Amino acid sequence: MGGLALWLFKYRSLALFILLESIGAWMTFSGVSYHRSRLNQFQIEIAGNYQYRIHRITRFMGLDEENIKLNQEITALKLQFSAKNGANDSIKGQIATSNQQGTLSPLQRNTFLWPDSGILLDFAAPARVVFCGLGNQQNYLLLDQGSLHGIQPRMAVLQGNKIAGQVQAVSEHFARVVPLIHTKMRTSALHPKSQTIASLVWDGFSTRYAELLDFPIHIPIKIGDSLVSSSYSAVYPPGLRLGRVDRVEIIPGAVTYKIRVVLATDYRQLDHVQVIRPALQSEREKILPQDLN
Amino acid sequence: MNRRPWVLFLFLIFMQVSVFNRVQWLGVFNPMVYAIVLLWLPLSWNRVFSMLIGFVVGWWIDSSFQSGGIHAMASVWLMYFKPFWVRFTVSSMQLQDNPDPDLRDIEIRSLVSYAGGLLLMHHTLLYTLEAFRWASLPSSIFKGSINTLLVSGLLWALIQWTRSLDSRKLQDNRY
């Protein structure tokens, strides 16, 4: 107590200054209605801003969980939609006819249409990327779903309608995915405008760009043209987005263009994905020689 | 200390309450001449006492303005910072010779920065407190600057007038 009194005495000018200013402020806010209402407004603004910030932080913290729920819900809705409303009636009709004729195996009878794309699938599940190694020539992704969740090798990994990669190996709880940005990955790409098929490969540099090889020089191609998966691939259903043409170079004497493609999937922002398997994949792979798959 | 024009101080406070409070020309010209009194009070006074005087003067003006306590706050601010401010603006040589210089003894350059600075602070704080919104801060500064010029002009005139009165008194005493 004595210490406090000494301290107050030492700083008596400052203490009195604060005291007198406080009395002045009290007189102003209690005596003048304008200042009182401004103070009320100010308090409401401060409290509102504080609550808004707190709300934003809590909403941001809960965003992760919301995204998981949304991804699961989107996949579930797509499955439900395809089961009830089957967008592509002609394919559905074909399946029904095949079923009646008994030409489909029990496994293949459980096929469904992936909405918005008309792709026939026999498996679809949401997953999340838990590791994304991007600094190497041969990159890998790791998903948080494994064989216990029905994931198997050679399933396609999508981000919406964009191709991210294919499952290479699975454990019980995880799946290893080879993305398009892997130097040993060669993906069959279709140029829809000219219906020309070429090969998409990654040159090992930027994760945003890949090279389109074997595109003949006599076929017109423009910057901005989209590239989708072709029907040649057993892993990826046809028509899924791979990227778009970013740069076209003509090399003197060459019979093909040098084409740079900006990939549809941004691997640096890859988080929620869907793992799918096209219908009849196993039957298709069985009939082809092993080295062509 | 005895050289202060005490009667003038009372007259200025009376003029503030009766005349200058009613001056609101163009919504800008509203000089606070009572600040001259606070400025002119001796520096040698105890700061606690000075602040109390400032508070009482401000409170008196507030009572006539019905403005709560904004004049009291601005006056206490002026009285608290006056001893700090004088060290920055008035030459140390002059303060060594006379630690409690009268405004009439301070050379013109120092007087402009000393009195002008304090008046600007006082007026700006006062108009900011009066408006009490961030959006009005530029207009408060503008209003404070204009009125500081007015009050500074009046202060200069009063200094000249009291100097002439002093010199006349000296002459009368000689004869």
Which CATH number is A220's domain given?
A: 2.40.10.340
Parallel, antiparallel, or unpaired: how do β-strands A209-213 and A196-201 relate? antiparallel
Tell me: do A163 and A22 sit in the same domain. no
Q: Between A89 and B50, name the one with better pLDDT.
A: B50
Element (H, E) at A147: none
Tell me: do A155 and A254 sit in the same domain. yes
Tell me the residue type at A187. T
Q: Among the three residues A61, A85, A107, which one is the final residue of a domain in this structure?
A: A61
- Render pLDDT for B24-66 as a digit per residue (tens, 0 to 9): 677 678 788 899 989 888 888 888 899 999 999 999 888 887 8
> Is residue B154 within 8 angstroms of chain A, CB to CB?
no
pLDDT over threshold 90, residue B123: yes
Tell me: do A258 and A166 sit in the same domain. yes
pLDDT over threshold 50, residue A107: no
pLDDT over threshold 90, residue A23: yes
Tell me: do A138 and A262 sit in the same domain. yes
Which residue range(s) make up the domain with A52? 2-61
Please indicate, yes or no, if residue A139 is contained in any of the structural domains: yes
pLDDT over threshold 70, residue A104: no
Chain A hits for B80, CB-CB cut-off 8 Å, are 13, 17
CA distance B39 to B86: 11
Q: Among the three residues A61, A85, A110, which one is the final residue of a domain in this structure?
A: A61
Element (H, E) at A168: strand A162-170
- Provide the number of structural domains found in chain A: 2
> Is residue A89 within 8 angstroms of chain B, CB to CB?
no
Chain A hits for B134, CB-CB cut-off 8 Å, are none
Tell me: do A170 and A280 sit in the same domain. yes
Please indicate, yes or no, if residue A66 is contained in any of the structural domains: no
| Residue A6 burial (10 A CB sphere; 0-12, 13-18, 19+) | exposed
CA distance A134 to A267: 8
Tell me: do A153 and A229 sit in the same domain. yes
Tell me: do A159 and A239 sit in the same domain. yes
Which of A35-44, A65-74, A90-99, B104-113 comes out lowest in average pLDDT? A90-99
- Do B72 and A27 lie within an 8 Å CB cutoff? yes
Confidence band of A95 (pLDDT split at 50, 70, 90): very low
> Is residue B58 within 8 angstroms of chain A, CB to CB?
yes
Please state the length of chain A.
293
> Is residue A26 within 8 angstroms of chain B, CB to CB?
yes
Tell me: do A28 and A158 sit in the same domain. no
- Render pLDDT for B55-88 as a digit per residue (tens, 0 to 9): 999 998 888 878 888 999 999 999 999 888 888 8
Please indicate, yes or no, if residue A106 is contained in any of the structural domains: no
The answer to whether the beta carbons of residues A171 and A146 sit under 8 Å apart is: yes
CA distance A273 to A269: 11
DSSP of A210-258: EEEE--BTTS---TT-EEEE-TT-SSSPTT-EEEEEEEEE--TT-SB-E
Q: Residues 6 or more apart from A172 whose CB is under 8 A from it?
A: A146, A147, A148
- Do A34 and B51 lie within an 8 Å CB cutoff? no
- CATH for the B6-174 domain, from 2.40.160, 3.90.25, 1.10.1760, 1.10.760: 1.10.1760
CA distance A205 to B32: 72
pLDDT over threshold 60, residue A31: yes
Tell me: do A152 and A245 sit in the same domain. yes
Closest to A126 in 3D by CA, of A107, A147, A144: A144
